[in-house]
Amino acid sequence: MKKKQIAITLGIMCLLLTIAICVQIRTMNSASSTVSQTLADNELRDQVLRMKERYDNASNDLANAQKELERIRQAATQDDETAEAKEQELKENNMILGNTDVTGEGVEIVLADAVNISSSLSASDQIIHYGDIQDVVNELRNAGAEAIEVNGQRIVNTSAITCEGNIIKINGERIGSPFTIKAIGSKDLLYGALERAGSILDWIRDAGNTATVTKQDNITINRYSGVISHEYLHENR
């Protein structure tokens, strides 16, 4: 009888010990997960702060450069008989370079991924790729567009449309579907270039994606917000 009681007591103690060990392991795993998440959050926060610092520095550099340009412009045109002509030339150059907000007639294009997925088409074909945006931008340039913007990003000489995995970036900024492309130029010529038979928009539509074009009498495109720098370009003297 005593042996039976001892066996029962030992069994209960082993059970309690097993439960205690399991609880401790779970507690340690939870603590480890919390520490890992905290480290990941801190790393992400540091990256955001570093990116914000670089952006703020670039913005300050741009603001200082614009102030210096304005100072030089005023000094160069002061008491000059051709001051008005130089002022107009400078404004036109800034518009071409993308340094000023501009308005004018043109077209607005909206590209969006397919809503109703077709099993007869490749899944990859039923989304808008960066190459589709590049082709539309090139089509607009060939048709004489004087200013182009994609999802608020002004397209200038140094603009890059890239793809990193499934992320599309313009001027280093992430953009996503739907893609709104604005272009200033002859609205009839731009519209005709995009809606001709066999155009890039036809290819996009054939894959089930959305591609609309509308003529606009008054489009506003904002200036390029980045800093245009040239490392290898120099004046030919």
Mean pLDDT of 158-184: 89
Domain that holds residue 136: 104-221
- Residue 187 within any structural domain of the chain: yes
Dist. CA 79–CA 63, nearest whole Å? 26
Query: Per the confidence metrics, is the pTM higher than 0.75?
Result: no
Mean pLDDT of 140-153: 94
- Residue 108 within any structural domain of the chain: yes
- 161-164 and 167-170 beta bridge pairing: antiparallel
Of 49-58, 107-116, 125-134, 165-174, the least confident: 49-58
- What would the pLDDT profile of 100-121 be if each residue is shown by its tens digit? 889 999 999 999 988 776 655 6
Indicate whether 234 pLDDT > 80: no
- Residue 197 within any structural domain of the chain: yes
State how many domains the chain has: 1
Alpha carbon distances (Å) from 232 to 14, 69, 235 = 76, 21, 10
CATH number at residue 214: 3.30.70.1880
Indicate whether 1 pLDDT > 90: no
Indicate whether 127 pLDDT > 80: yes
Q: What are phi and psi of 46, to 5 degrees?
A: -65, -40
Per the model's pLDDT, the better-predicted residue between 68 and 42 turns out to be 68
Say what the pLDDT of residue 154 is: 93
